[in-house]
Amino acid sequence: MKRLARAMLAGLSLVTIAMLSQCGGGSSAPQQSLPLAIGTPSLPNGMLNAPYSQTIQASGGVAPFSWSLSGVLPPNLALVNSAASTTRIYGTPDAPAQAAAFTIKVTDSTGQSATQSYTVSILAEPDTLTLWPAGLSFAPQLTGTLSAPQAETLTNTGTSAVTISSVGLTGTDAVDFSQNNTCGSNLAAGAICVINVTFTPSQLGPLSSSLTIIDSTLGSPHSVSLSGTALTSGPNADLSASVLTFANQVVDTSSPARSITISNYGTTTLGITGITASSNFGQTNTCNSTLASGESCTVNVTFTPDNTGSFNGTLSCADNAPDSPQTVSLSGNGVTPCIPQGGACYGPAHPTCCAAPRGHHAYCSNPTGEGTCVED
């Protein structure tokens, strides 16, 4: 009788092991390495005749590594030949260099590679230039009109002259700002020069740029931020997006909220009479019935499909702006849930996932077609 019980127990154990092996319970696949990447985004400038040493770090990949360089390093600098996940650029630069551009590449033992581009200057002087104030902010300005100038002062606090290669404007909205200056090509020790900046916006909303000075000191390029807001006459309702596309959403469940910002870039108060969303989409908002010039409010939109398939809708804001109502196109797909059972994943037709050894939060990576079972 005992021999029979032991035999039955052994047989049951074999069946359990077989079931687990069919549903993810067997030996796991070899773990893949993380993607190879270079994690050092930039390198500092160096100073003439001063030792320079900077480490570049890679992450992911499989050792050993090899490092290579394309482009030209500043004079008398070299790249360390390293098999580790770090390398180093070192040396004592013996000649000035302005914006030397080069690219570092790392390759691992599996053939993965990653690259990162750098720009390094070798400068003749310590950082003796100061800019005041730290940034210029312009009052709201009607589009197409010129602001009053604001002054930025550049001072050479050192004991020798500084060479100034250029004074200019950089950034996405650089075209909306302009400058003229008294700096010339050299700034004597202890001297100051003045840079006058104006703002002439060509488009609505917040605009920004940078005033940038390229020079012969270690701190080059020196820069300060520029900002301003462009307005239109009367009330205005500016929406931060015109389209919201939601990820696939299980039927009768609500998606995470997606946000839309309504801003009034008008000279007068915006009156809001209603904010609505189409069926299967919902909204909540922080907007009152009025929105003062320069102010904003937020609309949070969710997607709750009541069936499978594609859904399209509209978020609408009714107000007293000339282009009322403002609208946002909404879209998303309703899908069936992926039930964790069995050993495969085939989307809505066969929404099954392997439950063991994963927990009950396993789900299908592609609910609209064939996918893999993923742990939540």
Query: Residues 286-291: what's their mean pLDDT?
Result: 97
Torsion on CA atoms 153, 158, 160, 166, rounded to nearest 10: -40
Same domain, 87 and 74: yes
Work out the pLDDT band at 9, boundaries 50, 70, 90.
Answer: very low
Residue 294 maps to which CATH number? 2.60.40.10
Torsion sign, CA atoms 307, 305, 328, 291: positive
Q: Assess if residue 28 is contained within a domain.
A: no
Determine how many CB atoms are found less than 10 A away from the CB of residue 317.
Answer: 25
Same domain, 220 and 150: yes
Same domain, 211 and 287: no
Above 50 in pLDDT, residue 6?
Answer: no
CA 290 – CA 19 distance, rounded (Å): 64
Same domain, 203 and 274: no
What's the whole-number average pLDDT of the chain? Answer: 87
Residues 313-332 have pLDDT tens digits of 999 999 999 999 999 999 99
SS3 content of the chain, % helix, strand, coil (to 5): 5, 50, 45
Above 50 in pLDDT, residue 310?
Answer: yes
Residues in the chain: 376
Determine how many CB atoms are found less than 10 A away from the CB of residue 284.
Answer: 12
Number of domains in the chain: 4
Same domain, 116 and 137: no
Share of the chain above pLDDT 70, in %: 81
97 in Cβ contact with 86 (< 8 Å): no
CA 3 – CA 10 distance, rounded (Å): 11
Same domain, 64 and 83: yes
Residue with tokens 């302005």: 98
Above 80 in pLDDT, residue 353?
Answer: no
The pairs formed by 17-21 with CB atoms below 8 angstroms and a separation of 24 or more are 19/356, 20/356, 20/357
CA 287 – CA 268 distance, rounded (Å): 16
Query: Residues 152-157: what's their mean pLDDT?
Result: 97
Same domain, 224 and 247: no
Above 50 in pLDDT, residue 26?
Answer: no
Residue with tokens 């090509």: 185
Residues 40-51 have pLDDT tens digits of 999 999 999 999
Above 60 in pLDDT, residue 164?
Answer: yes
Residues 52-77 have pLDDT tens digits of 999 999 999 999 999 999 999 999 99
As beta bridge partners, residue 300 has 259, 284
For residue 83, the enclosing domain spans: 37-123
163 in Cβ contact with 215 (< 8 Å): yes
Q: Assess if residue 31 is contained within a domain.
A: no
Lowest mean pLDDT of 9-13, 123-127, 274-278, 366-370, name the range.
9-13
Last residue of a domain, one of 123, 150, 185: 123
Query: Residues 32-44: what's their mean pLDDT?
Result: 88
Q: Assess if residue 79 is contained within a domain.
A: yes
Q: Assess if residue 261 is contained within a domain.
A: yes
Q: Assess if residue 134 is contained within a domain.
A: yes
Same domain, 106 and 178: no
Q: Assess if residue 19 is contained within a domain.
A: no
Above 90 in pLDDT, residue 376?
Answer: no
pLDDT, position 124 = 83
Q: Assess if residue 8 is contained within a domain.
A: no
Work out the pLDDT band at 8, boundaries 50, 70, 90.
Answer: very low
pTM, two decimals, is 0.65
CA 63 – CA 365 distance, rounded (Å): 31
Above 80 in pLDDT, residue 18?
Answer: no
Above 80 in pLDDT, residue 342?
Answer: no
Q: Assess if residue 170 is contained within a domain.
A: yes
pLDDT, position 13 = 43
Residues 187-234 have pLDDT tens digits of 999 999 999 999 999 999 999 999 999 998 988 999 999 999 999 999
Above 70 in pLDDT, residue 121?
Answer: yes
Query: Residues 10-33: what's their mean pLDDT?
Result: 41
CA 233 – CA 204 distance, rounded (Å): 11
Above 80 in pLDDT, residue 3?
Answer: no
Share of the chain above pLDDT 90, in %: 75
